[in-house]
Amino acid sequence: MRIWYQSYVDYEHGKIYWDRLRAHLKTIVDEGTEVDVKGITPHDSYAHPIVEMRCAREVICNAVRAEREGYDAFVVGHFQDAGLYEARAVVNIPVVALGEASMLYSLQLAQRVGVVTINSRFIPWIQHQLVKYGLEKRITGVHAMQFEPGQILKAYESQALADEIRELFDAQAKPLVAAGCEALIPGGGIPMLLFSTLHQHTVDGAPVINGIPIAVKMAELAVKLRRHSGLGVSRSGEFALAPPEVIDEFMTHPKGL
C-alpha cells in the first residue's frame, strides 16, 4: 500500500520536522505500507485563510497526481484540511484529513472535546470546520497559542522552546477542561508530532490526542475497505465526481497572472 502524505511545509523549511515525521510514520503503519511525505512550495508560513486557499489548490492538484501515480490513498496532513472536500470530488482513492480524522476519532474517547490551535487567526477557520463537519455541539471550545507556523517549527531545534510550547498549550487547555472538555486536540500536525514523545500526555486528566497516527491508520483502513468491499466516498451530493475534462482544466489552468 502506498500513501501520499501531504504536508503544508516543504523540506527546505521543515527538515527536522519532516525527518521526525517520517520516522514517526514508520512506527505507525502496517508492514507493507509505504508513506511518502510531500510538501508545498511556498509553504504555509502565515496563519491566514488566503494562505490556506493557496495551499488548497496545490493539495487538490496533488491528490490527482497521487491517484495518477498509483498511490492508494491521500492524507491531508494539515489540521485546517484546506482542499479536503474538493480533493474527494476529483479522485477515487480515499482522501483522509488530519483535522477531520482527529475530531471524529476524539469523539469516541470523550463526550466533549477542545482544540488548542497555534494562532488565534485559525480560530474562525476551525469554527467553520466544526459547522461543516456537524461537530459544533461536541467540540465545544477552540483556544489558541500565538505562533506562526514557521515559528513553531523552531521548537524541533530547541528543547527550551518545545517546553515553552507545551506550557503554553497546557495553559490554554486548562480553561477548556474546566469548562467541560474531556479530551484535547493540538490544532496542527507540528504540535501533534512535537508532543508525540510525551506518552500519556494529559491536562487535568484530559488526554491530548496525536491525530497523525489516527489519520494514517484511517487511510489504511479506507484502502482495505475499498479493496475488500468496494466501499468508497458517496457520489450522490457533496463529493460528486468532477468530469475528467473539468479536472484536466483545473490542473492546467494558470495559477495566477
Rounded-to-integer distance, Cα 187 and Cα 209, Å:
10
In this structure, the number of other CB atoms found within 10 A of the CB of residue 16 comes to 12
Is residue 180, in this structure, part of any structural domain at all?
A: yes
Q: What is the signed CA dihedral for 68, 72, 73, 74, rounded to 10 degrees?
A: -30
Is residue 40, in this structure, part of any structural domain at all?
A: yes
Is residue 190, in this structure, part of any structural domain at all?
A: yes
Is residue 236, in this structure, part of any structural domain at all?
A: no
Cβ burial 160-174 (10 Å sphere, 16+ → b, else e): ebbeebbebbbebbe
Helix (H, G, I), strand (E, B) or coil at 130: helix
Is residue 256, in this structure, part of any structural domain at all?
A: no
Q: Looking at the 3D structure of the chain, how many domains does it have?
A: 1
One-letter identity of residue 177: V
Backbone phi, psi, residue 51, to 5°: -70, -40
Tell me, what CATH number does 125's domain have?
A: 3.40.50.12500
Is residue 92, in this structure, part of any structural domain at all?
A: yes
Is residue 41, in this structure, part of any structural domain at all?
A: yes
| First-to-last C-alpha distance (Å) of the chain | 39
Strands 2-6 and 34-38: parallel
Is residue 237, in this structure, part of any structural domain at all?
A: no
Residue 127 belongs to what domain range?
Answer: 2-218
Give pLDDT tens digits along the chain (257 positions).
Answer: 999 999 999 999 889 999 999 999 999 999 999 999 999 999 888 889 999 999 999 999 999 999 999 999 999 999 999 999 999 999 999 999 999 999 999 999 999 999 999 999 999 999 999 999 999 999 999 999 988 877 888 888 888 988 999 999 999 999 999 999 999 999 999 999 999 887 789 999 999 999 999 999 999 999 999 999 999 999 999 999 999 999 999 999 865 44
Which are the contacts of 217, defined by CB distance < 8 A and separation ≥ 6? 28
